[in-house]
Every structure is written in structure tokens, then in C-alpha cells.
């Protein structure tokens, strides 16, 4: 057990190299995001070359009015919404997995998406308005309210004595089944047209995006990210187990509650504007974990960027699979993402989870 000077310098060099590699990966994802967003802008009923997209982006006055309107007013909110919603869902999933020590935790498996769907369905099928609001916002607000009620219910139940973190995930899954039954009930009683609307909403679609919705969801993301980053070391410590985290001075119960509230809002905002997109919140964090590890200084931005990239690429593919048709994004992300995900988890070297 004698100290070896050679080893000491080596450890420090190893860590610096590790940090550099992670930063490089994050920069790489940002570059990929930029390309994917440009492709997303170029594709659609009217196709533009990447050159035209760049021109419209950087010198909007030099391109003709039609291209400018299509790119800036119609496609830009959708393309950017993919980034914000993808990032929000993946960050929410990442922190749920972190604080609940469960690889299956995500906005979808905790019932937040299902709650949102139920709220939206109430408005779509029966015109039930939970909070009076402008016509454009009745459905998102209904969805948001139900999503928050779901997470509030889960918080309340989880505060009871003897409820472990494993129980919280089971509660979430129970909520999913409850809302699925309620959704079936609504579809049973609603008329044909309303049923179509409900089904379409639950498939998830970015085409509902507008600049206002984009600003709201981006604003919430921009507020929540620094609040999570502040707890970077503590959140990383949570992955060593409550006992270890406590011994390092973290208060796991208080941190868990605060983070659960923050990510519930994040997920609810994302889901209420675009509908159910289940895959990103579960897989985005896993991809980030494989790429940059679980040190939150890299994991948090990594999860956000991976989620944004997955949804942006999904948006591009949803326009390419059947030319002339935009397939609902919720369908595309799962179908295209799962082979990629399987490749990653079956090829990784370490045994995380």
C-alpha cells in the first residue's frame, strides 16, 4: 500500500482526458442538432435545399417572401419545439431515473403522460374545461392540470410512512393503467369524430406547435435546468444509494421531493403541448448515460441534448418515411429509436443497472 508517484499523475491525466472527451461528445451532439434542425426546416410539402435554409436563417431579407414565411413562421416553431420538448422529456426522465434509482422511470411510466392524455381527452370528447382559458389553450391546460394532479397524487402517496422508492414507480404504473381505463371509457361514450381527435392527440404531434407555445416551454426549461444543475454533485451522489448520499451530506428525501416537483412541471408542459411522446423520456437519458456517464455536470446537458436530437431526428424521419405525409412523431420515435437503443444497450461494456 505504498504510494506510487507515477500512478498519481496518471490518475489526474486520466480524469482530465475523460472530461475533455465528454465535452467533445457534447459539442458533437450540438453540431448534429444544428444539422438535424436544418434538415427539419428543409423538409416538407415544399422542399428547400440546405443552401436555401442557411440563406433564410442568416440573411432572411435576401430570400423570397414565400420561403421566408414557410421557414420562419410555419416550420421554425415546429423544428424548435422538437428540440425543447425532446430536451424537457429527456431531462425529466433522467432525473426521475436518478432520484428513484430505477431505469424504467420516465414521464411516461410515472403516469404523467397518461394523465395529460386524459385531461386532453376530457376537453376533446366532452368539452370539459378544468380551468377557464382562451380557446386555443383549453386542451393544453386541461392536459397540464391532469398531469400535475397525477404527480401531486404520487408525491402525496409517496410521503406516507413505509413507502419506498420502488413503490413510487409501482404507483406510477398503477396510474398509467387507471388513466388507460378512463381513456377507454371516454372513447366508448364519445362520438366517432371526438374519438379520432383523442386518438390523434395521444399519438403526439409537433404540428401543434406555435411560437407562443414554444416560448412557454422553452422558458420553463430555461428556469428548471439551472435549478437542477445547482444540485449537480448531490444528484450524482443519489446514484450511489441513499445511505452513501446521506453519508456525503445529502438529504435524499428533501432532494427527491424538490426534483420530483421540478421535473413534473417540465414533463407536464412538454406533454400538454405536443401529446404523448413516450420513448424520448425513457431512452434519451440512457443514451446520454452511455455516452457521457452519470456525473451530472455532463449527464444533465447530455440528457437534454440527446433528447433534443432524438426528437429532431424523429421529426425529420416522420416527413421522409411517406413523402407528403407527416406521420405522428410519437409513432416514429419509438419505431426508429428502438433498434438504435437496442444496439447501444447490448453493446455497452459496463454493467450499469
Partner 1 sequence: MVGLQLDRLTARYGSEEILREVTTPRFPGGQVVGLLGPNAAGKSTLFRRIFGLLKGGGAVCVDGAESSRPIVYMPQDTGANAALTVYESVLLARMQGRRLKVSDEDLDRVDATLAELGISEIAKRELGNLSGGQRQMVGAAQALVQQPEILLLDEPTAALDLNRQIGFLALLKRIARDRGMLILVALHDLGHALRFTDQAMLLQSGRLVDCGPTASVITSDTLWRVYGVKARIEPCSRGVPQLIVEMPD
Torsion region of 45: left, alpha or beta (phi above 0 gives left; psi -120 to 50 gives alpha): alpha
H runs (alpha helix) in 132-231: 138-158, 165-189, 192-203, 211-229
From the list 20, 126, 211, 353, which residue makes contact with partner 1 (rule: CB under 8 A)?
353
Backbone φ and ψ for 343, nearest 5 degrees, come out as -55, -45
The yes or no reply on residue 347 touching partner 1 (CB under 8 A) is: no
Using CA atoms, how far residue 153 sits from 142, 147, 174, 271, in Å, is 16, 10, 12, 18
Q: Enumerate residues 6+ apart whose C-beta is below 8 A from 242.
A: 252
β strands within the chain, DSSP E: none
Q: Using DSSP, state whether 173 is helix, strand or coil.
A: helix
Residue 73 or 246 with smaller CB distance to partner 1: 246
CB of 279 to partner 1, least distance (A): 20
The yes or no reply on residue 344 touching partner 1 (CB under 8 A) is: no
Site for partner 1 in 269-308 (CB under 8 A): 289-290, 293-295, 297
Element (H, E) at 346: helix 329-347
The yes or no reply on residue 73 touching partner 1 (CB under 8 A) is: no
The yes or no reply on residue 234 touching partner 1 (CB under 8 A) is: yes
Residue 193 or 352 with smaller CB distance to partner 1: 352
From the list 33, 123, 250, 268, which residue makes contact with partner 1 (rule: CB under 8 A)?
250
The yes or no reply on residue 53 touching partner 1 (CB under 8 A) is: no
The yes or no reply on residue 222 touching partner 1 (CB under 8 A) is: no
The yes or no reply on residue 11 touching partner 1 (CB under 8 A) is: yes
The yes or no reply on residue 4 touching partner 1 (CB under 8 A) is: yes
CA distance 195 to 184: 10
Query: In the numeric block, which cell numbers belong to residue 59?
Result: 440573411
Summarize as ranges the residues that interact with partner 1 (CB under 8 A): 1-4, 7-12, 14-16, 18, 101, 229, 232-234, 236-237, 239-241, 243-244, 246-250, 289-290, 293-295, 297, 350-353
Amino acid at each position: 500500500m505504498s504510494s506510487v508517484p507515477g500512478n498519481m499523475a496518471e490518475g489526474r491525466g486520466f480524469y482530465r482526458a475523460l472530461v475533455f472527451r465528454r465535452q467533445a461528445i457534447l459539442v458533437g451532439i450540438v453540431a448534429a442538432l444544428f444539422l438535424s434542425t436544418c434538415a427539419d426546416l428543409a423538409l416538407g410539402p415544399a422542399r428547400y435545399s440546405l443552401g436555401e435554409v442557411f440563406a433564410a436563417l442568416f440573411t432572411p431579407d435576401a430570400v423570397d417572401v414565400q420561403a421566408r414565411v414557410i421557414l420562419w413562421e410555419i416550420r421554425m416553431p415546429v423544428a424548435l419545439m422538437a428540440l425543447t420538448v425532446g430536451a424537457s422529456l429527456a431531462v425529466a426522465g433522467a432525473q426521475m431515473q436518478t432520484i428513484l434509482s430505477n431505469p424504467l422511470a420516465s414521464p411516461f411510466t410515472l403516469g404523467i403522460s397518461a394523465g395529460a392524455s386524459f385531461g386532453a381527452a376530457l376537453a376533446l370528447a366532452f368539452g370539459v374545461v378544468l380551468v377557464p382559458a382562451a380557446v386555443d389553450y383549453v386542451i393544453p391546460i386541461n392536459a397540464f392540470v391532469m398531469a400535475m394532479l397525477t404527480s401531486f397524487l404520487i408525491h402525496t402517496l409517496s410521503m406516507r410512512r413505509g413507502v419506498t422508492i420502488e413503490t413510487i414507480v409501482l404507483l406510477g404504473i398503477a396510474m398509467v393503467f387507471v388513466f388507460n381505463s378512463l381513456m377507454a371509457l371516454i372513447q366508448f361514450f364519445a362520438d366517432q369524430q371526438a374519438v379520432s381527435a383523442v386518438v390523434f392527440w395521444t399519438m403526439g404531434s409537433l404540428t401543434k406547435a406555435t411560437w407562443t407555445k414554444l416560448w412557454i416551454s422553452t422558458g420553463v426549461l430555461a428556469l428548471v435546468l439551472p435549478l437542477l444543475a445547482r444540485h449537480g454533485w448531490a444528484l450524482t451522489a443519489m446514484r450511489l444509494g441513499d445511505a452513501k448520499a446521506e453519508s456525503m451530506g445529502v438529504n435524499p428525501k428533501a432532494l427527491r421531493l424538490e426534483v420530483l416537483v421540478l421535473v413534473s412541471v417540465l414533463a407536464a408542459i412538454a406533454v400538454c403541448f405536443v401529446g404523448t411522446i413516450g420513448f424520448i423520456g425513457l431512452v434519451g437519458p440512457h443514451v446520454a448515460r452511455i455516452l457521457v456517464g452519470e456525473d451530472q455536470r455532463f449527464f444533465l446537458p447530455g440528457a437534454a441534448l440527446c433528447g433534443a436530437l432524438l426528437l429532431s431526428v424523429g421529426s425529420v424521419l416522420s416527413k421522409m418515411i411517406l413523402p407528403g405525409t407527416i406521420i405522428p412523431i410519437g409513432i416514429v420515435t419509438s419505431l426508429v429509436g428502438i433498434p438504435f437503443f437496442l444496439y447501444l444497450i447490448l453493446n455497452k461494456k459496463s454493467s450499469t443497472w
